[in-house]
Amino acid sequence: MAVNVALDGPSGAGKSTIAKLAAKRLGFIYVDTGALYRSIAYRIISLGIDPKDENAVCGALDDIKLELKYIDGTQAVFVNGENVSDKIRTPEISMAASNVSAMPRVREFLLETQRSIARTNDIIMDGRDIGTVILPDAQVKIFLTASAEVRAQRRYKELAEKGDSSTYEQVLADINERDYNDTHRAQAPLKQAQDAKLLDSSELTIEQTADEIVARVEEYRQAGDTVKKTAEIKPAERVPRSERIQREIMPVRPIKKGKKINPLRQGFYNVARPFVRFIFKCWFDLSYEGVENVPTDGGNIFASNHRSYGDPVFIALMTRVPISYMAKEELFKQNIFFTLLIKAWGAFPVVRGTGDTAVIDISVNKLDSGRNLVIFPEGTRSKDGSVGKGKNGVALIAAVAQTKVVPVGINFEGEKLCRKKKVVVRYGKPIVPAQIGVTDTSPKNIKILKKAIMENISKLVY
Ligand code: DC
């Protein structure tokens, strides 16, 4: 099995220098993930796009092709065929990389590139979220830090050697700003994984710091046999992977209620909703029950059984605030008309294989932006109308965001939805996580919340 070392820490802590040295000693590949964010920033700036303009940045992603190559053991990054490795180290790109790295779509875009290289190679990967999000199962995790002044002094020296005219004060201000951005962003913020070793390099030489990493890997290798034997004897005591990830990376971040959503979208929704309702009422024999349970504000989750592609529409027709809902990536590749239609209605793609945490972060961001979120906890459509087991995602999103979950039951007879079919949509009483004692994302609480959600959905389905 490949050995993965996750090395996280703030800008200028010396991660890349130390990781390169340790990788050389261990015979590992060094993967610099910051270079990936920098390369995106480089391309965005080359296209004349403002790196803070999330819509424009995300819109350009489809045309960015990134490749990591290893030339004589050194990483080179190619953007659309151009080797940009030497061009991405300027202060302008550093700041732009910090901006684009806060965008969920950008992080999702880079996720698989990072994971795939770790799957089959012994690597040291440095970044901000390697131990927490990208490689939560890395065998060795280090969180490398140093005081802001020491880091600024090192970076200043490095830039001066390259002929850059930035002053020490400018470099320190930049470091402080990037630290703030990296630790305060909603998406995969920089933080030490619970099982990472904290290493402060302020008083250590490069050699000493690299020694520490090499020692940790040796320690892991020596302990490897013992760990394997223990696992064989007591498999029941091993914590399931899903639970380990949950504990490490799912802090609660309650959303702020009452946010006004984009007036254009709200305006479109105000016009489209009565129009679509009229069409749906003509087309189906559609009725609603429990409409008094639908909150008038946004930022709520509607958790429903899943019967047809029309479900997000059925559910949304009684909500005043636009919805968002996850849809399989394949649905966006069918035909342009269908894609535009589901996008206009709030669909966002979920890429298969994307880490659960990325999807949860995106969902919480949608709620935080004031939208309602429709989720089908069973994941797939039920043909016969019975309610299946349900996945943890809905409970995790609700627990992280600490927001209400409105259970919904969609009912019609038979398998297929067709013209004039009697459809009854029922909304149940909202479930408030804190009111049932769910104030964190511990596996026990997620189980409690998921159970409450699924039971309430079942009660609304006949
Ligand atoms: O490590 P670096 O300075 O080259 O990183 C450039 C920017 O990219 C930095 O502001 C943080 C961001 N980054 C990130 O968010 N996640 C990573 N895994 C690596 C870098």
Find the 405 Cα to ligand 1 centroid distance in Å.
Answer: 35
Provide the CATH topology of domain 263-459: Glycerol-3-phosphate (1)-acyltransferase (3.40.1130)
Looking from the CA of residue 95, the nearest atom of ligand 1 is 10
The β-bridge relationship of strands 66-71 and 74-79 is antiparallel
Reported as a pLDDT band with limits 50, 70 and 90, residue 250 is low
Nearest CA to ligand 1 atom 5: 34
CA 359/CA 349 separation, integer angstroms: 10
What's the order of all strands across the beta sheet hosting 140-145?
29-32, 123-127, 4-8, 140-145, 197-200
Mean residue pLDDT of the chain comes to 87
* Helices 393-401 and 443-459: angle between axes, nearest 10 degrees: 110
CA 182/CA 402 separation, integer angstroms: 23
Using the predicted structure, report yes or no on whether residue 452 has a pLDDT greater than 50. Answer: yes
Judge contact between 56 and 50, C-beta under 8 A: yes
The predicted pLDDT at position 224 comes to 62
Whole-angstrom distance between the N-terminal and C-terminal Cα of the chain?
Answer: 49
Candidates 365, 344, 331, 339; CA nearest to 106 is 365
The predicted pLDDT at position 135 comes to 94
> pLDDT tens digit string along 369-390?
899 999 999 888 887 778 888 8
pLDDT cut 70: percent of the chain above it: 92
Nearest CA to ligand 1 atom 17: 127
Domain with CATH 3.40.50.300 in the chain: 4-215
Which residues does ligand 1 sit against, CB inside 6 Å? 11, 33-34, 37-38, 94, 97-98, 101, 127-130, 178, 182
The predicted pLDDT at position 436 comes to 93
> pLDDT tens digit string along 2-60?
899 999 999 888 899 999 999 999 989 999 999 999 999 999 999 999 999 999 999 99
Using the predicted structure, report yes or no on whether residue 154 has a pLDDT greater than 90. Answer: no
Cβ burial 142-162 (10 Å sphere, 16+ → b, else e): bbbbbebebbbbbbbeebeee
Using the predicted structure, report yes or no on whether residue 456 has a pLDDT greater than 80. Answer: yes
Pocket test for ligand 1, best of 8, 98, 103, 126 (most atoms within 8 A of CB): 98
> pLDDT tens digit string along 283-315?
999 999 999 999 999 999 999 999 998 999 999
Using the predicted structure, report yes or no on whether residue 230 has a pLDDT greater than 50. Answer: no
Rounded mean pLDDT of 70-95?
90
CA 194/CA 306 separation, integer angstroms: 37
Using the predicted structure, report yes or no on whether residue 238 has a pLDDT greater than 50. Answer: no
Judge contact between 33 and 130, C-beta under 8 A: yes
Pocket test for ligand 1, best of 77, 88, 101, 176 (most atoms within 8 A of CB): 101
> In terms of pTM, does the model score above 0.85?
no
Reported as a pLDDT band with limits 50, 70 and 90, residue 357 is low
Using the predicted structure, report yes or no on whether residue 187 has a pLDDT greater than 90. Answer: no
> pLDDT tens digit string along 192-218?
998 899 998 888 889 999 999 999 999
Give me the sign of the Cα torsion angle 43, 47, 49, 54.
negative
Domain with CATH 3.40.1130.10 in the chain: 263-459
Rounded mean pLDDT of 113-122?
88
Candidates 365, 122, 374; CA nearest to 261 is 365
Candidates 425, 380, 434, 378; CA nearest to 405 is 434
Nearest CA to ligand 1 atom 1: 34
CA 364/CA 373 separation, integer angstroms: 9
Rounded mean pLDDT of 128-146?
93
* Selected residue with higher pLDDT from 410 and 251: 410
Find the 36 Cα to ligand 1 centroid distance in Å.
Answer: 8
CATH of the structural domain 4-215, one choice from 1.10.10.60, 1.10.1740.10, 3.10.580.10, 3.40.50.300: 3.40.50.300
CA 336/CA 13 separation, integer angstroms: 47
Looking from the CA of residue 185, the nearest atom of ligand 1 is 15
